[in-house]
Structure formats: structure tokens, C-alpha cells
Structure 1
């Protein structure tokens, strides 16, 4: 968590490269096959950081906005070939990474792990942290025929955190 003006240029570039180029390259190489078969589903993984700005997250948030923009643009480019392109935007997910984040915030604030965790939960409309399976379910929906008339869309899977 660093103010934009304190981010090293190389660090900023690395995040942009990983998230935007890392999304672009699979699209670039799979689309020709999908165009030839005149159908396909692309489900990108973004994040709620791409739905609004976050203080001290300039590189990461910018990269997720970029994934969102790439998704929408490719949806327009590929739609005439029957290709759906959407993005799932997870919020905070119950993973070891979240545990590490809670531990670090607890240390800095002088709180307990449970106090920090509960603070996250209280910010969510559903009062539950997103589980990895919640994200998988959204991806499966977008990859299925049930989403046949959806393209260029973002689905936030965040327990109502970004409402």
C-alpha cells in the first residue's frame, strides 16, 4: 500500500505487465480458433479494484481497470463471431493471502486477527467473506450456455462489499 507518487516505475510496470499483458496474451492466441469455430467463451479474472479506485493501490487498481477495459473492447471485437467475453471481479477472498493481510493489519493497528477479519465482514452486505468456490461458480456460469446473451460484462463476487 503505497501512494502513487512513491511507487517505483519498475514496480508499477511489473504489475501492469502481469495483469494486463497476462490477460491479453491468452486472448490473442485463443481467439483465432474461436473465430474459426464461430463460438467461444472467454472469462477474465479482474477484481473489485477495477470497479472503483482504492487508496494506495494505484498500480494494482490501474491494472484491474485495464483488464476490465480489455474485456469490454474484446467483447466488441469478437461478438460478431459468437464469442462472449466477460470478467469476474472478486473482492476479498478467504485464502492464505487474506489471512496474511489480516495478520499484518492487526500487527500495525494493535488489533487481533479476529478484529481485522470482522471489520472486513462488516463491510460486506452479506456479512460473509467470499470463498474460492464462489468465484469458481461465477466462472462456470459465464462459461456455460446460460450466459449466452452476456458479453462485455463484469460480475462482482464480493459478498456485496462494493455495493
Structure 2
């Protein structure tokens, strides 16, 4: 199926590993031109040939300005922004969380998306097929005990997405959010390990409990997320905007 993605100019944040790397690879496979960033210089160095990149902290507005300038110089414009960057944030009861950890989680998971959007939108307005995809989470649909900073940030992403979709609709810019659930990979393992430690339980027990809240009793793969993002940014996704799309094996609740 030709998605009409070939030639799109795409900026993906945090593309050196995990979900971000899968998103980058999926766009490249469809013929898009991609620029990305990450804090992991070694990971960036192993990206597919032709992918532009630079080391950048997306919570730093000066670094984001340099990133957008670099992407525009390399790509000659912009059609797609994928706000993928995020961190797990601290695990613990609200009265135990270090305020600095709270601030850092919101800066990376939420404010970074504002940092990128405010600079990208003037260029997206010139595109014939413009879209923004923001990574939220199943935590943006449910309360998430012991991870209040992350849940708060991901709820905020949905509010940002809905607002931007209304604001930018007349310019033809689509804005959607993807809400992953349990995603296979090192990051999810670290989250579950932290939860197991905070509860004095084994990793296997916590993992099986997490699976029990999904209908398919399994992880989502990074490629499944990437495929949905490709569709939203494609010619076939032109009618979809303002949506918070769960990709979480029908997760019903989080504990």
C-alpha cells in the first residue's frame, strides 16, 4: 500500500533508540527524509544512512531552536513533527517525590512538545501535507499510582494535542496523540522493575499484573506504534485530527 509518505520532511525527537528509532526507520523505509535528535550520541551514530541528527536536550529551549534550525537546513522545510521524547519520571508516593524530579519529568514529557511545536508550526503552515504527532501514554487516560508526574504530563499532552488541532485546523495542520500501553523494550522493563522494587514484589508478579489489565495479555511493539504514526502522517490519514489514539491492547486500567 502506497501511503504517500515518500519525500515528506520529518523531524522526530529522541530517535536514537526504542520507539523513536523504530519511528525513524519506518519513515525512512517509506521514502521520507528524516532528521532526529537524542542525548545518546552513540545511538545517533548508528542510525540508517541519510538520517540527519544532532545531540539535543528537548527541555532546553536554546537547544530546541538549534535543533529546528538544523532540521530545516538539512530537509529544506518541514511536513511532519513527531514529539516522541519522554522520560519515565520518578516512581513513588506523591509525598516522597523530589520536586526537581517532578519538574524534569514535565519539562521533557510535556513542555518539550510546546518547545518544538511553537517553532515548527510556521514551517508546517507551508506544507501541503502537514501533521504533528505527540506521544502521550495510557497514563494519559487513567490515573497511574506511584507515577503522578508522568501521568500528569501525559494528560497534559492530550490537552495540548486537542487544543492545537482546533487552533491549526484552518491551516490544514493535523494534530494527533498516540497513547501507548505496555511497550516491549528496555524502558518498560525499567518502569516495571522500579514498581516491583517500590512494592516489595518480584518483576514477574508486577509484569503479570500489568498484563491482566489488557485484553491481549501482551506487550505492544514499537513497530505497531510506528505504523500508526505513519498512517496519521500519510495521504490516507488526512481526515484524522484531534484524536487521542490508544495503542494498548485494550488496556482498561492501571495500578
Please state which band the TM-score falls in when normalised by the shorter chain: 0.7 to 0.9
CA distance in 2, matches of 1:102, 1:8: 20
* Correspondences of 1:14-163 after superposition (within 5 Å): 14-37=104-127, 39-104=129-194, 109-111=200-202, 113-162=203-252
Contact 2:129 2:235 in 1 (8 A): no
Question: Taking structure 1 as reference, are residues 15 and 114 closer, same or farther at Cα in structure 2, changes over 3 Å only?
Answer: closer
Tell which has more relative contact order, 1 or 2 (C-alpha 8 A, sep 6+). Answer: 1
Taking structure 1 as the reference length, the TM-score comes to 0.87
How much does 1:11 deviate? 1.5
CA distance in 1, matches of 2:118, 2:164: 10
How much does 1:39 deviate? 4.3
How much does 1:87 deviate? 0.6
- Find the residue that maps to 1:36 and give its secondary structure: coil
CA distance in 2, matches of 1:30, 1:123: 37
How much does 1:109 deviate? 4.2
Contact 1:89 1:156 in 2 (8 A): yes
After the TM superposition, which parts of structure 1 deviate over 6 Å for at least 4 consecutive aligned residues? none
Taking structure 2 as the reference length, the TM-score comes to 0.58
In the alignment, structure 1 residue 2 sits paired with structure 2 residue 92: yes
Contact 1:42 1:85 in 2 (8 A): yes
- Find the residue that maps to 2:241 and give its secondary structure: coil
Unaligned residue ranges in structure 2 (runs of 5+): 1-90
Comparing 151-160 with 138-147, greater Cα deviation is found at 138-147
Query: Which residue of structure 1 lines up, in the alignment, with residue 49 of structure 2?
Result: none
CA distance in 2, matches of 1:24, 1:30: 10
Aligned residues: 162
In the alignment, structure 1 residue 13 sits paired with structure 2 residue 108: no
- Find the residue that maps to 1:44 and give its secondary structure: strand
Question: Taking structure 1 as reference, are residues 101 and 78 closer, same or farther at Cα in structure 2, changes over 3 Å only?
Answer: closer
Unaligned residue ranges in structure 1 (runs of 5+): none
